[in-house]
């Protein structure tokens, strides 16, 4: 569960028991997170990042595609969990001090260590419910 109001992500096992809770940044007024239920489509550790202004959020006046190599200081940190809503995911961040304090571009942003831990617990098909 991605609880937007609490700015937290709650992970449950197959029996419905809470197994982890993480502080998170979830969306913003300008680029809100989706509502409802989506699924994890894939998990990528140590991902690169491609910014495409035609399908992603607008970054200033940039109109060029940017490819950023993998690494913990990249925009999505150490892991990317793609969701079934295109361009949305759960990911890490190079700036852990901003978790829960700043807004994301609609994704669920966790610290690199929390995102990595969560990624090891999920697999494609796991549901993610966005709660307002």
Active site positions, annotated: 91, 107
- Phi/psi for 98 (5° steps) reads -90, -5
Burial of 15 (0-12, 13-18, 19+ CB in 10 A): exposed
Fill in the DSSP letter of residue 14.
T
Quick one: which of 92, 94, 128 has its CA closest to 10?
A: 128
In contact, 67 and 50? CB cutoff 8 Å: yes
């Amino acid at each position: 569960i991605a609880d937007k109001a609490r700015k937290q992500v709650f992970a449950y096992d197959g029996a419905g028991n809470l197994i982890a809770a993480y502080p998170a940044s979830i969306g913003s007024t300008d680029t809100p997170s989706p509502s409802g239920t989506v699924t994890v489509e894939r998990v990528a550790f140590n991902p690169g990042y491609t910014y495409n202004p035609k399908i992603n959020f607008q970054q200033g006046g940039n109109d060029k595609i940017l490819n950023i190599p993998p690494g913990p200081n990249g925009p999505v940190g150490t892991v990317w969990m793609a969701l079934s809503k295109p361009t949305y995911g759960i990911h890490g961040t190079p700036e852990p001090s901003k978790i829960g304090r700043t807004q994301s571009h609609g994704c669920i942003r966790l610290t690199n260590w929390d995102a990595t831990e969560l990624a090891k617990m999920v697999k494609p098909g796991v549901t993610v419910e966005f709660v307002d």
